[in-house]
Amino acid sequence: MILKISTYGSSILRKKAEPVKEITPALVELAHNMLETMYKANGVGLAAPQVGKSIRLVVIDLSKEEDERTPVILFNPEVKPEDGENPLVTDEEGCLSVPDIWAKVSRPGRVHLTYENEKGEKIDMRDVTGKFARCALHEVDHLNGVLFVDKISIADRAVNASKLKRMVKGNQSSGNSAL
Ligand SMILES: [Zn+2]
């Protein structure tokens, strides 16, 4: 089932999401619907608040081709920078909730990621790097009400200010901001 993606200006995107206490079949189904929604929108990551559910659930799939899909479902993910030498890495990001905006964001290059999979097994991944690290940081930010446009340069904010304003306005007029 394709879900509706909330966009910039929706209040749910600014809420801190609740931990998942029990991984029920309904929540696993939600995760699969999130994956389907993400694939259709050509995204590589999606957090539950983006589809109107304020819970700590994220899906990620960095594969580009349909026959190479490697979906990852993360309940209660936590991500933090690894200790030691860990310079920030800057790369371009976008977000399904902030359409048509791409801008550079600096993030830790090496992270420690923990989560529970759909079977409730605890997964502990050390020294995660590259696109998976960036995506995990971006999605866990969503669970804390943080959007990538909060982290872009003042110059990039200025360039995209009118697009952002339009999104907020669109949400106000349709009443979505109250959802
Ligand atoms: Zn996003």
The predicted-structure confidence for 48-70, as pLDDT tens digits, reads as follows 999 999 999 999 999 978 889 99
Assigned domain for 89 exists? yes
State the Cα angle at 161 between 56 and 96, rounded to 5°.
Answer: 35
Q: Compute, in angstroms, the gap from residue 142 CA to the centroid of ligand 1.
A: 7
pLDDT for position 101: 97
Q: Compute, in angstroms, the gap from residue 148 CA to the centroid of ligand 1.
A: 7
Amino acid identity, residue 5?
Answer: I
DSSP secondary structure, 57-83, as one string = EEEE----SGGG---EEEEEEEEEEPS
| Burial grade of 162 (CB within 10 A; 0-12, 13-18, 19 or more) | exposed
Alpha-carbon distance of 136 to 69, in angstroms, equals 17
The CATH number for 43's domain is 3.90.45.10
Q: Compute, in angstroms, the gap from residue 68 CA to the centroid of ligand 1.
A: 22
Assigned domain for 48 exists? yes
pLDDT for position 174: 60
Q: Which are the catalytic amino acids?
A: 139
pLDDT for position 160: 96
Q: Which among 25, 144, 10 has a CA at the least distance from the CA of 77? A: 144
Assigned domain for 35 exists? yes
Low-confidence ranges of the chain (pLDDT < 50): 177-179
Could you tell me which residues come within 8 angstroms of residue 37 by beta carbon, excluding any fewer than 6 positions away? Answer: 2, 3, 5, 46, 51
Neighbours of ion ligand 1 (CB under 5 A): 95
Assigned domain for 1 exists? no
Task: Please state the domain count of the chain.
Answer: 1
Host domain of residue 19: 11-178
Assigned domain for 4 exists? no
pLDDT for position 176: 53
Instruction: Answer whether 27's CB lies under 8 Å from 51's CB.
Output: no
Q: Compute, in angstroms, the gap from residue 159 CA to the centroid of ligand 1.
A: 19
Q: Compute, in angstroms, the gap from residue 44 CA to the centroid of ligand 1.
A: 9
